[in-house]
Structure 1
């Protein structure tokens, strides 16, 4: 549930920027993200909008993440699990732990949906992440 009083835009931006700095340096995720994101400042701004819409209900995000993720080759559950692990680590370091907890719950659902959508896009029966 979004709540405009849960956090500030600055808190969301700190979370998103810290998280994706970690992702870009990660041994497993970094090569994937760095190969597919051409303009990191633009991508980070979109991600801040995405999380602002989810956490604060701003409605600023106007994208479709599923097709972009479905188009990536050779994704596997361990990559989604690593993404979640890094997200949770980054969230745990944030001052606003109410925001961090809500964001982690949402991130878990997002990872599950993206993984299920990815499997379906390849004609597979969706299996949940462990």
Structure 2
């Protein structure tokens, strides 16, 4: 990490209380909830069998998102665009994430994580829509027919 980026990361950490250890606790607790969730769990279970590498990528991702460390170098849109999900899945993801952030983090940290999570969810939802040849208008959400969005899992 270059000096400027390191200074910025320290500044954010000082203002919010976010640390790499907090990011790891948040990500682990959040994905424990995701894996146990009736709606989101099956989507992840079909794609992830070895969770530790995924969690390590998510630690780097959230470090980059929250602390601006630049640790993450992936392309999340490519992984998420083909998923059989819609607005209901993103709303549930956000609900679990917000609950976890509020439970584990002081308000400044929770607020930053939640703001970034909302931006990420909106971007990914738009990417999923575009991947499916749907152009969302401002304020419009991606809604799939029941069978396509959930297979056999009720919402």
TM-score by length of 2: 0.78
For 1:112 and 1:90, the matched residues in 2 are separated by 19
Segments of structure 2 that go 5 or more residues without pairing to the other structure are: 1-7, 143-155
For 2:102 and 2:141, the matched residues in 1 are separated by 21
Q: Secondary structure at the match of 1:49?
A: helix
Instruction: Quote the residue 1:125 is aligned against.
Output: 135
Instruction: Quote the residue 2:116 is aligned against.
Output: 106
For 1:90 and 1:33, the matched residues in 2 are separated by 18
Q: Confirm or deny that 1:80 pairs with 2:90.
A: yes
The CA RMSD over aligned residues, in Å, is 1.8
Q: Which of 7, 15, 18 is equivalent to 2:26?
A: 15
Larger radius of gyration: 2
Instruction: Quote the residue 1:96 is aligned against.
Output: 106
Segments of structure 1 that go 5 or more residues without pairing to the other structure are: none
Q: Secondary structure at the match of 1:36?
A: coil
For 1:8 and 1:20, the matched residues in 2 are separated by 18
TM-score by length of 1: 0.92
Instruction: Quote the residue 2:151 is aligned against.
Output: none
For 1:129 and 1:97, the matched residues in 2 are separated by 28
Please state how far the C-alpha of 1:99 moved relative to its aligned partner: 1.2
Aligned residues: 129
Instruction: Quote the residue 1:67 is aligned against.
Output: 78
Please state how far the C-alpha of 1:118 moved relative to its aligned partner: 0.6
Q: Secondary structure at the match of 1:93?
A: helix
